[in-house]
Structure 1
Amino acid sequence: MTQSKTEVLVGGAVLAVAVGFLTFAAQITGVGGNAASYPLTASFRSLEGVNVGTDVRLAGVKIGSVNSVVLNPETFRADTIILVKEGIEIPDDSAITIASEGLLGGNFVEIVPGGSPFMFEPDAEIEDTQSAVSLVSLLLKFVSGSGE
């Protein structure tokens, strides 16, 4: 009888720790129920290294994430939807770029704010985009001495 009570208590403790861990992981990754946010769209020539869930940053601070990436069959560009946290207003002349965290780091989406007094409305398109730069092609240009 004592052994079964101990097993039940240990099992309950393990279950509670597992639920706590999953809740913590969902909050950190932003998977569990997105906080209030609004969508913006952008179209990139190359979205190398960016997937659904990739961070969207402004001044190095995470303000959202990539929600959707699809190939546009007419333009052969990567049409992207990003979600930006509610309350963060972005000037409508801002640019959006694919940036790298370093040689070994991953890529993220960076918003470079403009100076317009007007802000993007939900579902607006950011037209000023800069695609990912391929590190391999940069190295090949450097090695070959091509200045193109």
Structure 2
Amino acid sequence: MTQNSTEIVVGGLVLAVAVGFLAYAAQVTGVQSSAGSYPLTASFRSLEGVSVGTDVRLAGVKIGSVNSVDLNTETFRADTVISVKDGIEIPDDSAITIASEGLLGGNFVEIVPGGSPFMFEPSSEIEDTQSAVSLVSLLLKFVSGSGE
């Protein structure tokens, strides 16, 4: 009987540690439900380095994440849905760009606020987009001396 109860206690501890690890991993990676946020859409020519879960930042502060990425087969652009935390209002003339954390860092989505007194409504489309700049193609142009 003692061996059986010991196995139950050890199994319970392992299960508790696993649940704690999953909760910690979700918190660190920023995985959260979409409650308390609203969606915005944007269409990019290139989303190089961006995928579902990528940070959306405003002034360097994380305000949301990328929810979905789909290829529009008619326009051949990447249609993207982002979520922005409730309470953060974004002017409707703002731009959205793909920015890099540095030469070796990853990419993130950056919102550059405009000056309009009107704000985006949920599910609005941000029309002013700037795609990712490929560092490899820039280096190849520099090395080859291409002026194009």
Both structures adopt the same fold (TM-score exceeding 0.5): yes
Give, in angstroms, the shift of residue 32 of structure 1.
Answer: 4.2
CA distance, structure 2, for counterparts of residue 32 and residue 87 of structure 1 = 17
Answering whether residue 85 of structure 2 is matched by residue 85 of structure 1, we say yes
Answering whether residue 18 of structure 2 is matched by residue 21 of structure 1, we say no
CA distance, structure 2, for counterparts of residue 25 and residue 6 of structure 1 = 29
Instruction: Describe the SS at the equivalent of 1:104.
Output: coil
Give, in angstroms, the shift of residue 103 of structure 1.
Answer: 1.4
User: Could you list the runs of 5+ residues in structure 2 that have no partner in the other structure?
Assistant: none
CA distance, structure 2, for counterparts of residue 75 and residue 145 of structure 1 = 32
Give, in angstroms, the shift of residue 25 of structure 1.
Answer: 1.8
Equivalent residue for 2:3?
Answer: 3
Answering whether residue 142 of structure 2 is matched by residue 142 of structure 1, we say yes
Amino acid at match of 1:89: E
Instruction: Describe the SS at the equivalent of 1:143.
Output: helix
Instruction: Describe the SS at the equivalent of 1:123.
Output: coil
Contact 2:141 2:147 in 1 (8 A): yes
Equivalent residue for 2:121?
Answer: 121
After superposition, what is the alpha-carbon deviation per residue over 1:43-97, rounded to whole angstroms, capped at 9, x for unaligned?
1111111111111111111111111111111211111111111111111111100
CA distance, structure 2, for counterparts of residue 35 and residue 21 of structure 1 = 23
Equivalent residue for 1:70?
Answer: 70
Equivalent residue for 1:56?
Answer: 56
Amino acid at match of 1:130: Q
Taking only the aligned residue pairs, the percentage that are identical comes to 86
After superposition, what is the alpha-carbon deviation per residue over 1:23-47, rounded to whole angstroms, capped at 9, x for unaligned?
2222333434233111111111111
Contact 2:34 2:83 in 1 (8 A): no
CA distance, structure 1, for counterparts of residue 117 and residue 67 of structure 2 = 27
Equivalent residue for 1:36?
Answer: 36
Instruction: Describe the SS at the equivalent of 2:117.
Output: coil
TM-score w.r.t. structure 1 length?
A: 0.93
Instruction: Describe the SS at the equivalent of 2:74.
Output: coil
Contact 2:55 2:62 in 1 (8 A): yes
TM-score w.r.t. structure 2 length?
A: 0.93
Amino acid at match of 1:5: S
What is the Cα-based RMSD across aligned positions, in Å? 1.3
Give, in angstroms, the shift of residue 2 of structure 1.
Answer: 2.7
Give, in angstroms, the shift of residue 130 of structure 1.
Answer: 0.4
After superposition, what is the alpha-carbon deviation per residue over 1:90-143, rounded to whole angstroms, capped at 9, x for unaligned?
111111000111111111100011111111111111111100001111001111
